[in-house]
Structure 1
């Protein structure tokens, strides 16, 4: 579908971003009739004909609406300006083809009236902008008793949340109406509604939109094990899960005030959840946001929620956790107000690099606002050194991602040089698929490798190997001896150089897949946190990427090599840089074409 854009709007520079937007953007239907009214009431009471039902089912199967499930936490604590900023962002997402369904979470102690008032407040803000408008759906969720196993302690009753919308969501999605749902559920058709856990309602909504049966009907608590219903039951293609929480993104373990930029669930979920729960058990502070648990408990709940929802969705779907203030961010230097609301359009979207709206940026690129492998200092320099703006404007992008295998496992024992008498890791060991590893290197570099020469050179000094996915990316790291230093002296003086020998990503996975970031982060965070060095040809187009992620670089004279390192204090240790240069000059390449001679 072709989208006519104003000439004043410019896309991101990434070609893949433009390509991805083309397949995602769907213009809202040009329908001047109200989304809901007497016509819908009459239609609901009558039974649709078989042909009409078949046509509607076919439409949902072949061309489902792209949707985002949004959880807005504690809207009662947000000012009108911030709420209007969020409403504007949701309206802009709709213009770009992504219709939001918002679950309103009032936190602990919220009653029905507060949740309904805040839902209406958000609807009014959305309706102030151009477009099909919004709809408050307050009777979507119901609560049913779940079948508990025999091992459940007496007196413990587990409930499950179901979606019973009576066609409201389907009609809204067809008309690109933003639906706002207070997190309320009723036990039956005649009982009053009561506040329900927003995580449970968000998960139930995602299951319903994705075409999965409810937990009550499937008889299982595991979202991944529940079989899908007929494809016609899928109401929407859920592209994004968005959590707007005042706590912001998931914090780093070593830097609790800095959020993760990207989380690879396949690799990091278990460890992150363990660290968050361990931190919550020792944290004396409380969130101070109306919820009784420590902040890390709430972060852990957010992480578990996105993991459970993404399990139901295709691998291309992702989740974004950020603050309501970041979601309200626009290209304007001042927040929108009720008295000064710019017209909805592309002219006020993300047009500068200074202030990136994480929701809009993620929709256009499916990437975090800043690359996850960039050092924090680089981001602070780009933002005029303001760490406060970085923390408030950053978001955590969560993807199902891919598994990362590291040999040897640094969680068991940190990487250290092993003495010659010790058992060494070799590329010919059974734990490696050597054929796939060699293919990965040759495909990434587009050059034929002299395998025998390469194995002879690295097998006796291999430090470790990082493998992403099914050999979609890899890093081979070695311990190198500086020229003129014996192995005995290097052991005594700890002068073995950690060297990145090969960094390879399949051509089909290069670009926005994030494989390179995943491998690089594993190298500098898990394997060599104290620093590593490598070299690259001076005319290598990847050097800009290397430069942004290194702590230092220099051009090696009388050669075609540029040297990079991540060791933060390398300049203060003159011997370290000398050893790095000695290794980068002396390592002999192993390419079969022998073109390395000119380097």
Structure 2
């Protein structure tokens, strides 16, 4: 049974306690009915409300089997090497002299003892503890009491699932350098601590400085990371002792944005500098201690998530009229997002670009599986969904029409940011790294490639290949000519021959990154929101229908159904297609409010032509 189910069951009360609770509630309800006109109703029990909200947040996340496996990989049971305890030599000698078992008997006894230890759930739970991970959280206030309470509930939900927050508090309405700013940020820090404790969390204010101003010694002349945002602070492993102590005690550390300057004075700095220094320092401290035997109460200091909680939400997107980006591939989209940032958004999202730069810097220090989320204080439950699924609320690769009218997307929809991969378009078969593409296809499809036939076909028919990273994923598109004598006038078919992602990159956003680039290079071409910088045509050109086939029992078909314009089942296969979006838009515009008819003239007969051509394409695999 998954840990998520266990987490839900753990919040339920025993049957006898539940019976007493229901009886007490029945009496309270009757008594409250009589006195309702004279006295206000008592507030609901905080723990009960929190537990119910927690359960509902997990259910609303609706994790898939792959999501659950990914969550358990980070927080589930892990085998740990048991410590070797050597008894004193005198004790060993006394036991050997008194018992003197044969070698055969001793080996049997040891084997039975090992089997009994494996069968014991108590010993198994000690040897395989549930791992707790850390998240760096920037609270970009000020927030009202109600808003802080909402955020505090989100932090508590995450802690129940194994993610412990290290919070840095920012107070945007307090200009730097004002008198009394130190007392003001300390007071704001204590407000956050009080909000957490109100809902049952253990929190510890870390009012001493844990970061130091300036670059690390020896790194004054050059930045270690080639990012636009360079943190103006650093930290050493010993500086993190207050944070480590709080985490070990089961407390959430809450820090003000303070740093130690060269005169050993504690001064207020930008919270982004503190967060970036912690992202690097906590990762380095965790790496140094990785060879030591961890204590079962230790928390993995390596940050798994970066959470930026503010009032403005995520990064506005030009493709969605200022609504937030859903998923950002920083490796290929960072510069483009900055260049297309509308100046009008600076009044509504003043810190969007600085937080974008912060996310890029922090993720460069964090594991490749990590992600950052920029979220409004109004969406605390979305933090649960991000933790469990590590995905945006709505997939960014869905058809644009579905994204435009989706009720789940509003100004408070979170933006998920991943370090991501470079995405590039290759238009010549000679430029493909054939050995790497072969490995990708065979690992993804778990079949042996018929290399001679496959590369001959690529040399003859290749249109383009979209490659993510160092062949972590690829979309291969060919041009299939209509045979001579085909009735009607049909353009050559743009055919998706292969769509593959390495198993190690499935679930990290690579699939969505690839499909968005595929959309921009084929059926989405010509639209203003298809101008993403993926090395291809950058939105210039005329969109083309995209056609592909998939076996009827392919588990990926559900994903294809959601992204295709239509499909038709043909025996053991399913034929999918995506209509050119610009043509659909133009046709709908000509007809005004009437829109498209059930069957347009350009659709007549095309399915029979497509199926006739597509199902004659030879297999790429050895039998």
- 1:321–1:397 CA contact under 8 A, matched in 2: yes
1:466 positional shift: 1.0
Matched, 1:204 2:277: yes
Gaps of 5+ in 1: 28-61, 151-157, 214-227, 289-294, 328-356, 409-424
- Summarize the Cα distance change of 1:245–1:166 in structure 2 as closer, same or farther, 3 Å threshold: closer
Report the counterpart of residue 617 of structure 2 in structure 1: 589
**Higher-helix-fraction structure:** 2
Report the counterpart of residue 31 of structure 2 in structure 1: none
- 1:137–1:179 CA contact under 8 A, matched in 2: no
Report the counterpart of residue 360 of structure 1 in structure 2: 384
1:172 positional shift: 0.6
1:127 positional shift: 0.4
For 1:584 and 1:194, the matched residues in 2 are separated by: 70
Matched, 1:472 2:472: yes
Report the counterpart of residue 536 of structure 1 in structure 2: 550
Which secondary structure does the structure 1 equivalent of 2:68 belong to?
Answer: helix
User: Higher mean Cα deviation, 201-210 or 258-267?
Assistant: 258-267
Report the counterpart of residue 227 of structure 2 in structure 1: none
1:471-515 deviations in Å (ceiling 9; x for gaps): 23211112333455789x97xx9x333221222233x24742333
Which of 556, 560, 576 does residue 546 from structure 1 map onto?
560
Which secondary structure does the structure 2 equivalent of 1:16 belong to?
Answer: helix
- 2:240–2:282 CA contact under 8 A, matched in 1: no
For 2:571 and 2:241, the matched residues in 1 are separated by: 72
Gaps of 5+ in 2: 13-54, 78-128, 176-180, 223-229, 293-298, 525-542, 585-595
For 1:546 and 1:285, the matched residues in 2 are separated by: 35
Which of 160, 171, 174 does residue 232 from structure 2 map onto?
160
Which secondary structure does the structure 2 equivalent of 1:326 belong to?
Answer: coil
Which of 40, 61, 69 does residue 136 from structure 2 map onto?
69
- Summarize the Cα distance change of 1:117–1:362 in structure 2 as closer, same or farther, 3 Å threshold: same
Report the counterpart of residue 106 of structure 1 in structure 2: 171
Matched, 1:173 2:247: yes
Matched, 1:402 2:429: no
Report the counterpart of residue 261 of structure 2 in structure 1: 187
Report the counterpart of residue 196 of structure 2 in structure 1: 126
- 2:473–2:500 CA contact under 8 A, matched in 1: yes
For 2:573 and 2:74, the matched residues in 1 are separated by: 43
1:55-88 deviations in Å (ceiling 9; x for gaps): xxxxxxx999521111111x22x33222101101
What is the TM-score normalised by the length of structure 2? Answer: 0.65
Report the counterpart of residue 322 of structure 2 in structure 1: 257
1:284 positional shift: 4.8
Which of 355, 366, 377 does residue 302 from structure 1 map onto?
355
For 1:23 and 1:443, the matched residues in 2 are separated by: 21
Report the counterpart of residue 287 of structure 1 in structure 2: 347
Matched, 1:117 2:187: yes
- How many residues were matched structurally? 466
Report the counterpart of residue 65 of structure 2 in structure 1: 15
Mapping 1:79-98, distance limit 5 Å: 79-98=144-163
- Summarize the Cα distance change of 1:177–1:453 in structure 2 as closer, same or farther, 3 Å threshold: same
1:391-429 deviations in Å (ceiling 9; x for gaps): 244222222222323114xxxxxxxxxxxxxxxx3x3x1
- 2:258–2:269 CA contact under 8 A, matched in 1: yes
- Taking only aligned residues, the RMSD between alpha carbons, in angstroms, comes to 3.8
- Summarize the Cα distance change of 1:14–1:511 in structure 2 as closer, same or farther, 3 Å threshold: farther
- Summarize the Cα distance change of 1:306–1:594 in structure 2 as closer, same or farther, 3 Å threshold: closer
- 1:451–1:590 CA contact under 8 A, matched in 2: no
Mapping 1:295-374, distance limit 5 Å: 295=349, 298-327=351-380, 357-374=381-398
- Summarize the Cα distance change of 1:452–1:584 in structure 2 as closer, same or farther, 3 Å threshold: farther
Report the counterpart of residue 37 of structure 2 in structure 1: none
- 2:315–2:325 CA contact under 8 A, matched in 1: yes
User: Higher mean Cα deviation, 113-122 or 565-574?
Assistant: 565-574
- 1:84–1:126 CA contact under 8 A, matched in 2: yes
1:239 positional shift: 0.7
- Summarize the Cα distance change of 1:145–1:270 in structure 2 as closer, same or farther, 3 Å threshold: closer
- 2:522–2:546 CA contact under 8 A, matched in 1: no
For 1:464 and 1:446, the matched residues in 2 are separated by: 23
Mapping 1:385-400, distance limit 5 Å: 385-386=406-407, 389-400=408-419
Which of 498, 508, 513 does residue 513 from structure 1 map onto?
508
For 1:594 and 1:140, the matched residues in 2 are separated by: 60
1:29-69 deviations in Å (ceiling 9; x for gaps): xxxxxxxxxxxxxxxxxxxxxxxxxxxxxxxxx99952111
- Summarize the Cα distance change of 1:581–1:298 in structure 2 as closer, same or farther, 3 Å threshold: farther
1:363 positional shift: 1.4
